Amino acid sequence: MNKRVFVTGTGIISSIGNNKKENLESLLSEKTGIGEITLLDTIHKGKIPVAEVKLTTPQLLTLLGAEGKKNLTRTAILGIMAAREAILDAGLNPDEIKKAGLVSATTVGGMDRSENFYSQFLDNNSKGRLIDIVNHDCGDSTERIAEYTGLKGFITTISTACSSSANSILFGARLIQSGIAERVIAGGTDSLTKFTLNGFNTLMILDKNGCKPFDDERAGLTLGEGAAFLVLESEEAMRKRNRKALCELSGCANANDAYHQTASSPDGNGACLAMQAALDMSGIKPQDISYINVHGTGTQNNDLSEGIALEKIFGNKVPPFSSTKTFTGHTLGAAGAVEAVFCMMAIQQKVIFPNLRFKIPMKEINIQPVTTLIRNMEIEHVLSNSFGFGGNNSTLIFSKAEK
């Protein structure tokens, strides 16, 4: 990157915690958020595990201070909570917030409310509350986040499947580099819905016992929900307000192999392109990467493709790696940002998080993930992968900030 981009604040809510502190505590205690369905009204309750945020939508509204509001979807609520925490963490004043840009990602948008409408409408086309569908589109959650946080700069929405929020961070960095913005709040949010649960179940890629990425007997992914946002700033903007960085976004890249609508290329080409381009942009050598937060969904196709790509890029010296989706499930459009926050926690806390439930190494590759929490490890650079349907592959590299 010609113009340096720094992270000065982060916010997160997931199945393992309602804020940064709770998420970190769960990661350090190896406490997963994956379990039986308790909130989503679905025929799969008791059959398919998920990673739910442990609060009902009315409880989230109360926590947000918006009790009784009827124009907020669960997706928007989660996003507002994470974005607010990130802004508070960065110490932005009202004027700085007002001028900041917002790049928010989502895949399901307001589907959680739309399902309420159609369940009634399909039984009787004279029933169903229209207020449940007016917030359906993906851009609505972005507008609500901007409204509730006071953001009035450049505002846009990204939806590129599971690479969505990684791409929002990448796009936010480009806005700063190009001089369009000096400060951008970037991330993503997604809630669990019957639509996504049924869709992935139809693809037959849901593990009925909880995902176990990179295990030879892996049986699919586990869906989760949550939101995470990063405050990105130019070096000039950060120095101007005498703020210290949490870390530097030293490299980022996106590549599309267009191999298949829902499958990764078996030879890992798209993943290789994204990782290599991010490394080239950062100027960091492969051997200098301390830890890799892999996309690691737990599906047969993805893990093999990503594993092959890792061996192509790093040879026989693949850095320690793990999938934190074993804690949070796959949060879809929020995954890239959720895992970006975890990458920064790894740098700051000097830890590598474990890949839970792993037992049997894959036969096709010669690598296996970290399975226990590693402490007191100096971590300089962390690489994070996020891959989406259609071969949309993104890689972010976060580096330890200079003192």
Alpha carbons within 13 angstroms on the beta-carbon side of residue 19 total: 11
162, 211, 247, 252: which is the annotated catalytic residue? 162
Q: Tokens in use for 57? A: 């939508």
* Residue 180 token pair: 């369009």
Question: H-helix or E-strand containing 228?
Answer: strand 226-234
Helix (H, G, I), strand (E, B) or coil at 170: helix
Whole-angstrom Cα distance, residue 329 to residue 344?
A: 19
Q: Compute the distance between CA of residue 44 and CA of residue 46 in angstroms, rounded to an integer.
A: 6
d(CA 112, CA 222): 18
**Residue 295 is a catalytic residue:** yes
Neighbours of 177 (CB within 10 A): 15
Question: What does the alpha-carbon distance between residue 366 and residue 359 come to, in Å, rounded to a whole number?
Answer: 14
Is 343 noted as a catalytic residue in this protein?
Answer: no
Can you tell me the distance from the alpha carbon of 317 to that of 393, in angstroms, rounded to the nearest whole number?
22
Tell me which H or E stretch contains 292. Answer: strand 291-293
Q: Of residues 247, 252, 272, 330, which has the active-site annotation?
A: 330
The residues with which 215 forms a beta bridge, in sequence order, are 361
C-alpha–C-alpha distance, residues 353 and 372, integer Å: 7
Residue bearing tokens 């267009």: 258
**Catalytic residue flag (residue 330):** yes
| 3-state SS, residue 377 | coil
Which residues does residue 158 pair with via DSSP β-bridges, in sequence order?
105
Is residue 103 helix, strand or coil?
strand
Selecting among 138, 247, 252, 295, the annotated active-site residue is 295
Identify any residues that bridge with 162 across adjacent strands, giving them in sequence order: 160
Give the helix/strand (H/E) hosting 398. Answer: strand 392-400
Cα 42 versus chain centre, distance: 24
- 37 vs 324: CA distance, rounded Å: 20
Question: What six digits make up the tokens of 74?
Answer: 């669960």
Of 46, 55, 50, which is closest to residue 74 (Cα–Cα)?
Answer: 55
Give the catalytic positions in this structure: 162, 295, 330
